Amino acid sequence: MKRIQPPALDIRNLRVEYPLANGKTLVAVDNIDLVIQPGEIHALVGESGAGKTTVGNALMGLLQHPGRIAGGSITIAGKPIDVRTGRTEGIVPGRDVGAIFQDPMTSLNPLFTVESQVCEGMLTHLKIGRREARLRALELMKAVGIPEPERRLGSYPHQLSGGQRQRVVIATALACDPQLIVADEPTTALDVSVQAQILKLIRELADKRRVGVLLVTHNMGVVAEIADRVTIMQNGLVVESGATRDVLSAPKAPYARTLIAAVPPIEVRLDRLPVPSEETPVTLEARAAVRRTSTKSHAGGTDEIVLDVRNLNVEYGRGSLIPGRKAFTFKAVKDVSFNVRRGEIFGLVGESGCGKTTVANTIAGLVTKSGGDVDFLGAPLGSRRDRSTRQSLQMVFQDPYSALNPRMRINAAISEPILFYKLAGNADEARQDAATLLEAVGLPAESGARFPHAFSGGQRQRIAIARALGPRPSLLICDEPTSALDVSVQAQLLNLLKDLRDLAGLSMLFISHDLAVIRQMCDRVAVMKSGEIVELAETEALFRSPQHPYTQELLRLAPSLDRILSREKIAVGQ
């Protein structure tokens, strides 16, 4: 008789609580049932703070104190977890359960090379030699699409781009062939070409090796692309669960319908992205904040050039600190030229490592250019920025975890630049401005009294955006500003950024690997590859008739909820 293989993961009536200092209890997850069969990919979807990551941390034994499993059971590959300790005899995290976390920079040790970190689990759990481990690490680096894998093995995490660091994390999770993989936003930092490779890799891992995958994500295109089943969460509860095609094509729960409707389409540009209601308190406060931060009250799109970049070049490693050692030079940006007009949203798109963020950091003064010219508001940008320039040019970074000081309360973090640039008469006025900005980005004003660790990744990114809006900038550099956000909050924030453009005349340099977001947001788009701009055009012209083969390939690989569901309908003869 053929032996029936137990589920890779079986969660029954899971309840996770966080005792609060005031004696009350916060229920983060309540009455969750979730079963993943061997070879199955089960997506866990919901807005930031819904409890998705809490479920993953509970089964990995990574709940932060004072969080605790207050009820229910968790079984991995037929072996129950002791809910008091989060551990079970015979199941080893890293060997039997692999983890791909949302933030690659905190997942990797900055003091060790990529090779040592990818090989560590194999040397410990598989008991193989260092040479064999290195060869296997090299194969994994190639499989996850890291360029120049042999050289990158000797690199440190800070020498890689955000997308490359995430690929290293994925390679580390796959190193020991685990029975279950918990993937928490595994493709957040990846461009569409590498995302397609990673999704294919995860799908093959599930199909060929019968590995169960819990995929925590807010990207509905990714869910439609590879997930067999999907569970949608809201406020710690399951609101809908079922086969992916059934849930995405005909959702029954009102929240599920709202969430799916908020997914930005890549096939057509909308004036505004759909949100639950355009007259919700959040949206009304957002409009009030827009007017409060306005320095000019006119629509954007004028011919006035705010930012002019001409033949920008950036090189790394131009000198060696070690006598007698030959310096290694790498040209990250090569003769890049573009301009951003008053009230325009200019998009920059391309694969991770292509130089997008380097361009942004150079404009912001965080990286020194090796050649070319950058003019801002009609004046050259030198290596030193005066007070007015720093106020007029603000940046929203890709990583919401390292963008905020963990020792500062949120009110203080948002108020700090407002007080520094003397945009409020006193601390009380600055706190009022901070409260208004928090509500503008969809967070309650009272959350300003908390510290960053009390918020999810998506909530921290909203706080970072609010902080950047405080100084009332003329140019906002947005480096993947919505990559950590669920689709419903993403829609609200993208609409808010459009309001800022229209009401305040705010210009933006918008960097993203999400082509659907680029189409909805940008007036013009530049496509970068290997440090160069290969195509620059009006957004609609570029999406309707891309000229460069690389642009055509990006558009072909971009996940689209509507396209995938339409393809499935044709396949089943509907």
Same domain membership, residue 502 and residue 457: yes
Judge whether residue 537 has pLDDT over 60.
Answer: yes
User: Cα Rg for the chain, rounded, in angstroms?
Assistant: 24
Mean pLDDT lowest among 62-66, 133-137, 355-359, 393-397: 62-66
pLDDT in the model for residue 3: 58
- Residue 443 falls within a domain, yes or no? yes
Lowest mean pLDDT segment, chosen from 58-62, 130-134, 348-352, 416-420? 58-62
Q: For 281-295, 318-332, 342-356, 463-477, which range has the lowest pLDDT when averaged over its residues?
A: 281-295
Residue 209 domain flag = no
Looking at residue 137, its pLDDT comes to 92
pLDDT reported for residue 145: 78
Considering the chain, what percentage of its residues have pLDDT values greater than 70? Answer: 87
Q: Do 530 and 473 share a domain, yes or no?
A: yes
Average pLDDT over all residues of the chain: 83
Paired strand residues for 242: 230
Lowest mean pLDDT among 317-326, 331-340, 467-476, 553-562: 317-326
Do 421 and 533 lie in a common domain? Answer: yes
Mean pLDDT of 373-381: 90
Same domain for 221 and 292, yes or no, is no
In this structure, the answer to whether residues 411 and 463 fall within a common structural domain is: yes
Does residue 459 carry a pLDDT above 50? Answer: yes
Report pLDDT for 283. 39
Query: Is pLDDT above 50 for 502?
Result: yes
Residue 9 has a pLDDT of 92
Query: How much is the pLDDT for 80?
Result: 85
The answer to whether position 166 is within a domain reads no
Of 185 and 269, the one with more pLDDT: 269
Quick one: pLDDT at residue 485? Answer: 73
| Least reliable range by pLDDT among 196-210, 249-263, 294-308, 430-444 | 294-308
Most confident residue range from 117-126, 337-346, 361-370, 383-392: 337-346
Would you say residue 187 has pLDDT above 60? yes
Domain that holds residue 546: 281-304+343-369+382-557
Give the confidence band of 279 by pLDDT, cuts at 50, 70, 90. very low
Taking Cα atoms as reference points, which of 465, 466, 472, 520 lies closest to residue 297? 472
Residue 486 in 3-state DSSP? coil
For position 567, what pLDDT does the model report? 47
Tokens 């200092």, residue located: 21
State mean pLDDT over 434-443: 86
* pLDDT at residue 289 tops 50: no
Domain co-membership, 397 together with 461: yes
Q: Specify the pLDDT at position 305.
A: 93
Is residue 488 pLDDT above 70, yes or no? yes
- Looking at the fold, whether 449 and 359 belong to one and the same domain comes out as yes
Return d(Cα 530, Cα 510) in angstroms, integer: 19
| pLDDT band with cut points at 50, 70 and 90 for residue 572 | very low
Q: Residue 562: pLDDT band by 50, 70, 90 thresholds?
A: low
Q: What is the H or E stretch that residue 536 is in?
A: strand 532-538
More confident residue, 340 or 480: 340
* CA–CA dist 168, 152 (Å, integer): 10
Q: 10 Å Cβ neighbour count for 291?
A: 11
Q: Which residues are within 8 A (CB) of 75 and not within 5 positions of it... i.e. 6 or more apart? A: 6, 7, 9, 10, 11, 81
pLDDT confidence of 507, banded at 50, 70, 90?
very high
pTM exceeds 0.75: no
Average pLDDT estimate for 263-278 = 77
Distances (CA, A) of 263 to 6, 259, 349, 400, 427: 35, 7, 19, 22, 39
Least confident residue range of 1-5, 252-256, 328-332, 495-499: 1-5
CATH number at 533 reads 3.40.50.300
Question: Which secondary-structure segment (H or E) carries 203?
Answer: helix 192-209
How is the chain split among helix, strand and coil, in percent rounded to 5? 40, 25, 35
Asked whether residue 399 falls in the same domain as residue 459, the answer is yes
- Count of domains observed in the chain: 2
- Given pLDDT bands bounded at 50, 70 and 90, which one contains residue 36? very high
108 Cβ contact partners less than 8 Å away, ≥ 6 residues apart: 114, 117, 157, 165, 168, 169
Within a domain: residue 9? yes
Averaged pLDDT, 387-412: 87
Whose CA is closest to 8, among 77, 92, 90, 93? 77
The percentage of residues in the chain with a pLDDT greater than 90, rounded to a whole number, is 34
DSSP annotation of 514: -
**Which of 108-112, 196-200, 343-347 is the least confident region?**
196-200
User: Same domain for 458 and 364?
Assistant: yes
Using CA atoms, how far apart are residues 290 and 499, in angstroms rounded to an integer? 7
Same domain, 260 and 347: no
Residue 450, pLDDT score:
92
pLDDT of 571 > 70? The answer is no
Distance CA 65, CA 18 (A): 8
Whether residue 107 is contained in a domain is answered as no
DSSP 8-state code for residue 126: I
197 in any annotated domain: no
* Same domain, yes or no: 448 and 493: yes
User: What is the pLDDT, as a whole number, of residue 294?
Assistant: 42
Position 562 in a domain: no
Measured CA to CA in angstroms, residue 174 lies from 131, 205, 356 at distances of 18, 9, 28
- 509 assigned to some structural domain: yes
* Element of type H or E holding 412: helix 410-420
pLDDT at 569 over 80: no
State residue 543's pLDDT score: 95
Q: What pLDDT is stored for residue 262 in this prediction? A: 82
Q: 288 and 253 share a domain?
A: no
Note the pLDDT of residue 564.
60
Higher pLDDT, 279 or 470: 470
295-334 pLDDT, tens digit per residue, is 443 334 568 899 999 999 999 875 555 566 666 678 899 9
